[in-house]
Amino acid sequence: MSASRVAGAMALCACAALASAGDVAAQKTGPALNATERALVKSVDAHNADALALLIKVVNINSGTMNFRGVRQVADVLAAQLDSLGFKTRWVDGAGFHRAGHLVAEHPGAGPKILLIGHLDTVFEPDHPFQKFERLDDSTAKGPGVIDMKGGDVIIVYALRALRDAKALDRMNITIVFDGDEEESGSPIEAARAALVEAAKGATAALGFEDGAGDPKTAMTSRRGAGSWSLVSTGTPSHSGQIFTPEVGAGAVFESARVLNTFYTQLGHEQYLTFNPGVALGGTAVTLDSTGTVGNASGKDNVVAEQMKVTGDLRTISPAQFENAERAMKEIVSHPLPGTHSEITFETGYPPMAPTAGNAMLLEIYDKASRDVGSGGVTAVDPSHAGAADISFVANLVPMSIDALGLSGHDDHTDKETADLRMLPVKTKRAAVMLLRLTNGAAKAR
């Protein structure tokens, strides 16, 4: 694909407003739909009530990441659905990475291998008051995980059901991974994502069904990675009247402030690079727990601070940007104020999903599928607004990746998490047509 075509794919505008499910059903589908694709659309419409019932069922099962029993219950519900479609399902136990585990489903076929990615867990543990699906009106409902991402899981199931109904599933080569710890990853992360990485081997494309930016006219062809950093500064404790003297120097708090300010002035305007200091503690004595999120500090305003500890995250669009940022931040740290010393350490965490020509091609195919089923165009989300997700662990292993194909809505990770139920059949039709076209060689034909 030429550079101009990549740029064109990334700049496509969504030029048609999405209507309600009833309006969409009443529209004529695009002229490019063949007989099989029209059968997919018909099946999705016929089974939308069943899809909604499945969504309600899984939302009403608490599956906070640390509720291992609940995570497994959601997996069992989805496994039964996939078993009925001819998939072979298996449970990957999570004891080795201190989580419930993952559901893997496989459907071998003659077509190119396609990896579908979802997750079973939510951020809402059993002690959270937000526990049940609640209908707000005829087109919206709220509930824990309704868009992040049980709605996406249901879209996967009913897109595949439509393909089965249209007699198109038999030759398809599909592997699905529903992780059980996307919201709070297990440790070590290499073990927690081993099943996903293994499933990506030999895949032509990876499709993620997160809710993304919440706008049904968008999808994600890139995501920033999420790493972390820890800064420890030390100074010479002394009476405050001696601060700035050659014998005492600037103290730990001024030293950390120097480092943070220099990060901001030298690196704070680089596109797609962010480095947020989330916790900062300074004083005579400082403790910070192993998570870097809880700590204590003590000191007096007439004593020069001996210690300061800061933890933060680091988000980048590519491994190269992460390495360059790490190098620059270490260089800044290496020039301490008088009488002080600083050290900084990094952890990589979630890798980035870098923008590629293959990802842009997938967006073209998804955009075309959306237009052909009568739901308007789709454009790419600016990666500045795209957080880390499981697809990032495999994006460098497959030629093409795209995410945010799941159910649209707003306020995920809050007790106002709300789904636009009109988008359930729309997103399912798009996914089914896209999967069929990928299997039939749409990527090669473009």
Overall average pLDDT of the 135-139 stretch: 97
Going by C-beta distance under 8 Å and a sequence separation of 6 or more, which residues neighbour residue 111? 171, 172, 173, 439, 440
Question: CA 316, 319, 324: angle at the middle one, nearest 5?
Answer: 75
Beta strands in 356-414 (DSSP E): 379-380, 400-402, 409-410
Task: Give the pLDDT score at 444.
Answer: 54
Task: Provide the CATH topology of domain 3-223+353-445.
Answer: Aminopeptidase (3.40.630)
**Torsion sign over Cα 32, 35, 40, 44:** positive
Model pLDDT, residue 31: 59
pLDDT at 184: 92
Question: How would you classify residue 244: left for phi > 0, otherwise alpha for psi between -120 and 50, otherwise beta?
Answer: left
What are the residues whose beta carbons fall under 8 Å from the beta carbon of 310, sequence distance 6 or more?
Answer: 230, 231, 233, 256, 260, 277, 279, 280, 281
Query: Could you read off the pLDDT of 82-96 as tens digits, one per residue?
Result: 999 999 999 999 999
Find, among 147, 126, 142, the residue nearest to 73 by Cα: 126
pTM for the predicted model, two decimal places: 0.85
- pLDDT tens digits, 146-169: 999 999 999 999 999 999 999 999
Whether 3-223+353-445 shares its CATH topology with 225-350 is answered no
Phi, psi of 12 (to 5 degrees): -55, 140
Q: Which fold has domain 225-350?
A: Alpha-Beta Plaits (3.30.70)
Q: What region does 309 belong to: left with phi over 0, alpha with psi -120 to 50, or beta?
A: beta
Q: Provide mean pLDDT across the span 25-54.
A: 85
Tokens of 165: 């109904």
Which pLDDT tens digit goes with each residue over 364-392? 999 999 999 999 999 999 988 877 899 99
Mean pLDDT of 28-53: 90
Please say whether the beta carbons of 13 and 406 come within 8 A.
Answer: no
User: How high is the pLDDT of residue 12?
Assistant: 29
CB atoms within 10 A of CB 143: 26
| pLDDT bucket at 288, cuts 50 / 70 / 90 | confident
| E-assigned strand segments in 29-93 | 88-93
Distance CA 395, CA 64 (A): 26
Give the mean pLDDT of the chain. 91
Residue whose C-alpha is closest to residue 144's, from 93, 191, 74, 81: 74
Query: How does residue 289 score in pLDDT terms, banded at 50, 70 and 90?
Result: confident
* CA pair distance 388, 396, nearest whole angstrom: 14
Two tokens at 273? 């690079």
Query: Does the pLDDT at position 446 exceed 50?
Result: no
Task: Please report, for the chain, the start and end positions of each structural domain, with discontinuous segments joined by +.
Answer: 3-223+353-445, 225-350
What does the angle CA 325 – CA 328 – CA 334 come to, to the nearest 5 degrees? 140
Q: What is the pLDDT of residues 8-32, one digit of tens each?
A: 333 323 322 232 233 333 344 445 8
